[in-house]
Chains A and B, each alone.
Chain A
Amino acid sequence: MENFLEFFFSGLVNGAIYALIALGFMIIYSATGVINFAQGEFVMLGAMFTAWLSGRGWPLPLVVGAALVGATLAGILTERLTIRPARTASPLILIIITIGVSILIKGLAMFTWGKDPLPVNPFLPSEPVHFLGATLSPQGLLVLVVSALAFLATESFFRFTLWGKAMRACAYNRFGARVLGINLSRLTCLAFGLSAALSGLAGIIISPLTFASYDMGTMLGLKGFSAAVFGGLGSATGALVGGFSLGILEALASGYISSAYKDAVAFLLLLIVLFLKPEGLFSPEKVEKL
């Protein structure tokens, strides 16, 4: 198990990103029962805003703030302009709408920022840190710290605030939540905003590592979605575990087995988990067998 720690850390950083995106999927799914296929585009917007604004010479805190607001607004607009008008339709219809939104956002981004990837400078000086024989980049550590904070914030939102509790209630029983007087329309809007903010944050912190390009969202969205599924789409912990598992599996697979087949190995393991433990690793619901 040579270099295990290094593979592990490298997987941890990617896993943190997947976990943030998975968290975004989970929040919207809880509130509306919709899989939001535009989730990856929120990540892309976060990264793009960061690249664009820092390229215009804005100071870093302002860039991060503006990028976060931008991604959140994109989420809220998505909900108000496309989901709300079709709120009576079945989740499948809403899912297709989010596919349309994804195509639209990607197209607009291609126009605004062009087709080449945009550079982003590291937020921190890039001298690597040595730890137990492994090298870690400060930017990677930053990703870990920020996503841990974001996770804690989300978890306490779900546990301690009224809206958070309402969202959880909604995930268990949408109709029941409504009967209790929960304003579903505002809840849905909040869910989209929060989810987009988390994904935007993922985009912001990963942009110095991977740069920003208009088509980066598709792959990240797919990975985040898989992580969310892995974690059962039911709880924040699930999303976290799903994200980290996928990231670490990928890194270990490419480190010990084959970099060519790493995605296949990761997804094969996902499938095996699905077959053996279909409710996901951390899902509150039990799966019914026919």
Chain B
Amino acid sequence: MRRIWFFLLGLLLGLNTLVWAKEPYRIGAIFSVTGPTSFIGDPEKKTLEMLVEEINRAGGINGHPVEAIIYDTQGEETLAVQKFMRLVMQDRVLAIIGPSRTGTSLAVAPLAERYRVPLISCAAGIKIVEPVKPYVFKVAQSDRLAVKKIYQYLKAKGLTKVALLTVSNGFGQSGREELKRLAPRYGIEIVADELFGPKDTDMKPQLIRIRRTGAQVVICWGTNPGPAIVARNMRELGMPQKLIMSHGVASKRFIELAGKAAEGIILPAGKLIVAHELPDNDPQKPLLLSYIERYKARYGKEPSSFGGHAYDAFLLLKEALARAGADRAKIREALENIKGLKGIHGVFNMSPQDHNGLSEREAFVLVEIRGGNFHLLKD
């Protein structure tokens, strides 16, 4: 009888080692899952969890299972630093994905350098990778690229007088700075520069000010729900100006919120929201469609472009782990040399000079809201 038990035990252990012959690769992630920027961190977390499940079902990376430890920063720097330290010191992860916000990313970047841990930020701020820090990477497209896309469009249409209406948080600030900085290069005159708070309930005073400046175009830079209120307020005031938004509202939820007022709005966005309309020769199309399908099957709703950042970060890390194995310095080196990796938000070509690796051409497309949906704007 005893022998049988030993046999069974042995079998069990054997099975275990058969399935997972190798040490798991432990990676960390810090996202703003709750708090004011939870709309960024929540889809990132869900995407990462889905990808880790999938890869383990498929046999891991070179036979190594992947274990992801995800912590919530609530979008706050102090907590981001705390969770970063926990991942590095307690959990001893190989690399870290996140944080979600530019501010939290800038707060942990010096620590990634100090402790030599590869960090793949999901935030957009250009300051994260400029100047280049050896251990810090980012996957999100810089806001500058979105601004260029808008200005190219305006220039082509001969529109020159622009009013800015930006939200007073990190996202809005970064957009505002780039919009102001690049305007002269495209012959654009900024005739108004207004702000609104992330939780403001009425933007009419700002719009009334804009109305009397003779602006031809209003560019609103923000994340839900503010821009939806702006769209509705503009309609209430009967303002005829063209309204352009940022990629911050590139989700179905924006159209639901703004309702009829969303019609005709143009915005730069990652290809994800218009994946179905992309030409078939687009290198990212199959991946985009498959991401949408898998995410829908798992969570019952469409993924947002923020989730796509976590997807790209994981793809890069997976590739680096497959090449370098369990060694932080080698992972860093592998990350830096990834070329031609097709991700959700573009094709990544990393180099020691460029730790973002996205090209202008692929990062954004212009889309227009028509009939309650996003449509690719053909130039």
Contact = CB atoms under 8 A, between A and B. Distances in A.
Q: A–B direct touch, CB within 8 Å, in complex?
A: yes
Interface string B193-220: 0111101011011101100100000000
Contacts of A137: 236
Given A117-B253, A135-B236, A209 B202 contact: yes
A254 B203 CA distance: 9
A255 B201 contact: no
B42 A115 contact: yes
A259 B225 contact: no
Interface string A198-222: 0000000010011101011011100
Given A10-B205, A128-B238, A259 B212 contact: no
Interface in B24-52: 34, 36, 38-39, 42
Interface string B166-197: 00100000000000000000000000001111
Contact of B253 (A116, A260, A263): A116
Contacts of B195: 259-260
Given A110-B34, A128-B238, A137-B236, A10 B225 contact: no
B212 A216 contact: no
A126 B168 contact: no
Nearest to A3: B208
B237 interface: yes
A14 interface: yes
A17 interface: yes
Contact of B224 (A110, A117, A128): A117
Contacts of B212: 2-3
A139 to B, nearest CB: 8
B201 A14 contact: yes
A262 B206 CA distance: 11
B256 interface: yes
Contacts of B168: 260
Nearest to A140: B236
Contacts of A110: 34, 38
Given A128-B238, A255-B209, A209 B225 contact: no
A170 to B, nearest CB: 33
Nearest to A107: B34
A34 interface: no
B331 interface: no
B235 interface: yes
Nearest to B41: A115
Contacts of A128: 236-238
B257 interface: yes
Given A215-B36, A216-B199, A259-B195, A117 B257 contact: yes
A260 B193 CA distance: 10
B94 interface: no
Nearest to B229: A210
Nearest to A222: B199
B235 A126 contact: yes
Interface residues of B, number: 33
Interface in A182-240: 206, 209-211, 213, 215-216, 218-220
Contacts of B208: 3, 6-7, 10, 255
A10 B202 contact: yes
A121 interface: yes
A255 B42 CA distance: 36
Interface in A114-142: 115-117, 119, 121, 126, 128, 135, 137
Contacts of A255: 205, 208-209
A251 interface: yes
B228 A211 contact: yes
Contact of A209 (B42, B197, B201, B259): B201
A144 interface: no
Nearest to A114: B42
A207 B81 CA distance: 36
A126 B38 CA distance: 31
A251 B206 CA distance: 9
Contact of B225 (A3, A211, A263): A211
Contact of A259 (B206, B224, B236, B260): B206
A209 B237 CA distance: 14
B39 A116 contact: yes
Interface string A173-187: 000000000000000
Contacts of B257: 117, 119, 211
A270 interface: no
Interface string A45-68: 000000000000000000000000
- With most chain B CB atoms within 10 A of its CB, the pick from A119, A254, A259 is A259
Contacts of A254: 194, 205-206, 209
Contacts of B205: 6-7, 10-11, 251-252, 254-255, 259, 262
B201 A126 contact: no
A121 B38 contact: no
A2 B41 CA distance: 43
A13 interface: yes
A210 B236 contact: no
Contacts of A7: 204-205, 208
Given A6-B205, A135-B237, 8 more contacts: A116-B253, A117-B253, A119-B259, A211-B229, A219-B199, A251-B202, A252-B205, A259-B196
7 contacts: A6-B204, A117-B224, A117-B253, A119-B253, A209-B229, A255-B205, A263-B197
Interface of A: 2-3, 6-7, 10-11, 13-14, 17, 110, 115-117, 119, 121, 126, 128, 135, 137, 206, 209-211, 213, 215-216, 218-220, 251-252, 254-255, 259-260, 262-263
